[in-house]
Structures are given as C-alpha cells and as structure tokens.
Amino acid sequence: MLPVLAFEGLTKSYGETVALRDVSFDVPGGQIFGLLGPNGAGKSTLIRILMDIIRPDAGAVRVFGEPRRRAHLDRLGYLPEERGLYKKLKVGEVMTYFGALKGLSRAEARRRALAWLERLELGHTVNWKIERLSKGMGQKVQIASVLMTDPELCVLDEPTTGLDPINVRLVLDLLGERRARGLSTILSTHHMNEVEAICDRVALIDRGRLMVYGAVDEVRRRYSLPEVRVGARGSLPVVPQVASAERETNGTWKLLLADGVAADAALAALIGAGAAIERFEPVLAPIEDIFLRVVREGQA
C-alpha cells in the first residue's frame, strides 16, 4: 500500500526544548495508524506540523505522494486533543461552518451535517445551541464535523476519551468503515486496547524520538518474550526445549521457551514426548506492556 503520509527527518524545538528529533516514518494508505507516546512525547507537535499549524525547524512532510501544500488541507481532517465548539451557536451552524472551511458548499455542508447527526442519533439537536449538549453529545458532534467531509487522511487525537462504551464502539466502527472504503486514519490515543483492536500499524514516540514503528502484530511479536500458550489434555511432558511452564487459571499452560528455541521446535518436541496438544499459539506482548517497557527503558 502506498503511503498517504511520510514524515522525513522532522526536527522541531521550542527554545531549549527539543520536541522532535529527526523523526521519519510513513503512514500507508487505507489503514488505521496508531500514534502512541506518553504526554509531552511530541505527538501533538508532529500532528500540528502535518496540519501546517506550526513549521518544522528541519525536515519535510509529504502527503498523497507530494510535498505538503496548503491545498492538501481540504483532504485532511483533524480532531485536536484540545477541542471545543462555539457554545452560543447552533449545532447545524457550527457543523456547516467547519464543512465549508474544508471546501464544501454551504448547502452540501448543511446536508451532510444533517445526515451525520441522524447517523449518530443526534438529528434532533441540529437547532440546539452547543451549550445545551452533554459532553458526550458534544464530542460526537466534533467527530461528525471531522468525518462528514470524508477526508482522505484523518487525524483524531483521543477521539474516545470521555465517551461511554457504546459510543466508543460506535466511533471505532466508524473508523473501521473508513478503512473499508480505503480511507486512512491516524489515531492518537492512550487507550492501548483500542490500538490492539483496530490499528493496523503503530508508531511510538518518546521524548521527540521515534522508538517503535511497524505493523501491530509484528511489533507485538518483536517485543514479546519467547512464550507460547498451550492447551492440552492431561499433563505436559518435560522437554529441554521448554525452560519453564506455568498453569493458568483457565487450565491452559504458558511456556517459556529455552534460549534460541523456535516455537515450532518446541511444539514438535512436546508432541514427540506424547503431549495431546489442542491449542498452541505464541503469546504476544500487549501493546500496553510494550509502551511501558519502551518508555521506561528510555527514561533509564
């Protein structure tokens, strides 16, 4: 898949503080890309540079295969972390305005706003003043304002924070639909379960450096211990390919393989020793563990 976005050697400082240090990576098209990092890691700076809100000290941004120009902003959507709406105005007016800013005619923006409000079960609020909305409703209006323009690349910074589980699922489903239509989304979040559930690829930034980058499964494998989860009838035989075994509460076994032993070699050894194997799968490290490990190692 061709990249829709490429950061090339981005560096940005605020006085003495270095926010980004030579950051380079691609975002393939038609995927949901997780942008991870602790607070103050440089994620927002990276996104602001992408959206041309601030300029980098060095490096370049390419979008849709071209050096980023202002005209590209109409094809980009952005939901910032620090966000809000005009409290004294009506929901429909605000959404129409945001749509018009992205190049839609006022009539088309209004039409799409109504359609998206209906879709998010907020159709009755179109003539409400924003201040009348609950926090969750307001957040859904903000997300709809971004998605209604069908941006080819959309950056959502913590879109689900503050939403109830039903609405979290709703938002994640919307992102899944975008992916199915070949549209790209960058999801900046601290909810690692969301990353595992929906993201195809991730980048982890810490203190301005790109620490981890790759497909989610590949990253999880890369940072996992040599462990496998095994379901078997009866007990497991002791084989030299397994360094230790731990019985889990649901009856499965978590085996730590000996140094240099591949999972398939351990499986062959267990079967050869008479084990009745029903299930055998590598134990992948949770993204949250990888996050904590990388950040702590960086601090150390």
Partner 1 sequence: MIRWRQARTVATFEFLSTVKRVGYLVTTFGMPVFIALYGVVVGVPVYFLEKNANKPVVYGVVDGAGVLRLEGETAAGAPPIPDDVRSALEAAGQGQALDRALVASQFVFRPYPGEADARRALVASEIKGYFVVPPDYMDTGVIDSYSSDVLSTRGSDSRSALATLLRERLLAGRVDARVAARVTTPVKEARRFNVTREGTVTDGGVAASVLRALVPILFMVLFLVSVMMSSGYLLQGTATEKENKVVEVLLSSANADEILAGKLVGLGGAGLLQIATWLVMVLVISVGVVPLVLSARVAVPWLALAVAIPFFPVAYLFFGSLMLGSGSLGSTMREAQQYAMVFSLMAVVPLMLMSLLITDPHGTVARVLTWIPFSAAPLVVLRASLDPAELAWWEIAGALAVLVVSTYGAIWLGARLFRIGLLAGGTRVKLRDVIRQARAGA
Supply the minimum distance, in Å, between the C-beta of residue 299 and partner 1: 27
Q: In terms of CB distance, is 71 or 300 closer to partner 1?
A: 71
For partner 1, the closer of residues 81 and 264 by Cβ is 81
Which residues from 219-258 bind partner 1, rule CB under 8 A?
none
Which is nearer to partner 1, 102 or 191 (by Cβ)?
Answer: 102
Is the separation of the CB atoms in 208 and 21 below 8 Å? yes
Site for partner 1 in 107-166 (CB under 8 A): 145
Determine, following the binding rule CB under 8 A, whether residue 27 of this chain makes contact with partner 1: no
- Stretch of 67-75, 168-176, 208-216, 276-284 contacting partner 1, by CB under 8 A: 67-75
Q: Residue 50 or residue 232: which is nearer to partner 1 going by CB?
A: 50
Please report whether residue 181 would count as binding partner 1 according to CB under 8 A. Answer: no
**Cα torsion at 217, 221, 225, 228 (round to 10°)?**
70
Name the residue nearer to partner 1 (CB basis): 87 or 222: 87
**In the complex, what is the shortest distance from the CB of residue 33 to partner 1, in angstroms, rounded to a whole number?**
18
23 or 130: whose CB is closer to partner 1? 130
* 173 near partner 1, rule: CB under 8 A: no
User: Radius of gyration over alpha carbons of the chain, in Å?
Assistant: 23
- Cα–Cα distance list, 225 to 130, 242, 296 (Å): 50, 13, 17
Nearest 5°: CA angle at 147, between 142 and 148?
95
Q: Are the beta carbons of 159 and 141 closer than 8 angstroms? A: no
Tell whether residue 82 is a contact of partner 1 (CB under 8 A).
yes
Binds partner 1 by CB under 8 A, chosen from 55, 135, 181, 233: 55
Interaction of residue 259 with partner 1, rule CB under 8 A: no
- Binding to partner 1 by residue 53, rule CB under 8 A? yes
Residue 213 binds to partner 1 (criterion: CB under 8 A): no
Give the count of residues interacting with partner 1 (CB under 8 A).
Answer: 32
76 interacts with partner 1 by CB under 8 A: yes
Of 21 and 229, CB closest to partner 1: 21
- One residue of 68, 72, 102, 140 binding partner 1 per CB under 8 A: 102
For partner 1, the binding residues (CB under 8 A) are 15, 48, 51-55, 57, 70-71, 73-74, 76, 78-80, 82-89, 93, 97-98, 100-103, 145
